[in-house]
Chain A
Amino acid sequence: MYMPMEKLSLRTEHTEDRTIVHIGGEFDLEAASRMRAALNSLIEQADRRITLDIQQLKYIDSTGIGILISLAKALHARNVSFDVVHIPSHIRKLFDMTGITPFLMKPESSI
């Protein structure tokens, strides 16, 4: 059965110790302005640990990677702990290739 894929999905979940943002679909140039706005408001309100769960992310390119780098830098500057979990293998390959993996993964989340 053909399932039309939602272009980009964003869902925020607040747990006891952190905010988890679930990102799914395609994180590309088309999604950039929406993601930038969502993540900027996340940065402004950041008062505790932030985790991005990208298990359902199907696609990312340099636009999306650039936005993730900006997010990591902004949160680092604010001393907010940040990590990315459930990274699909083909996306992990791009993170490794560009050298950003160490900025996205904490040792304890390296699964």
Chain B
Amino acid sequence: MVNERVVTLSIPALPEYVDLVRLTLYGIATKLKFTFEEIEDMKVAVSEACNNAVLHAYGDLSGNIEVTFQTLGEELVITVKDFGKSFVVDESKEAPVMHGKEIDEIQSGGLGLYLMQALMDRVEVKQDGGTAVTLSKKRLASEETA
């Protein structure tokens, strides 16, 4: 039987609050016995989703970002939702942007979505009165060490 549990956090859409999301994620993922590496991966992916909302959702207006952490068995499903104008997630889905390139050819932007996809098992973007990014990761290592 899958026991579903939900934690919800709402933060102002400002850069200095994104670390609260990482701290909360750390607490929840530790409870679920994710490994250090898995937690580090999720921290980056979730921050990328929050960064997008901070940068693009509300323009000069203020607004909030709602982050939901849902536990489904061994899977953690994190949804980052804003209630601002929908923005185009304009980043390339193409694999490693820099690989095999010369330094003159590389670009400093557009890595956010790529990292989310590379670090999580599943990434979904929905736009309906704002943008909701859902990120899922299953715990791999079943270390039952007490």
Contacts and interface: CB of A to CB of B under 8 A. Distances in A.
A30 B47 CA distance: 11
A69 B106 contact: yes
Interface in A67-111: 67, 69-70, 72-73, 76, 90, 93-94, 97-100, 103
A62 interface: yes
A40 B104 CA distance: 18
Contacts, number: 78
Contacts of B32: none
Interface residues on B, range: 20 to 34
Contact of B109 (A7, A66, A93): A66
Interface of B: 15-16, 18-19, 22, 36-37, 40, 43-44, 47-48, 51, 54-55, 96-101, 103-104, 106-109, 111-112, 114-115, 118-119
Interface of A: 7, 26, 28-30, 32, 59-63, 65-67, 69-70, 72-73, 76, 90, 93-94, 97-100, 103
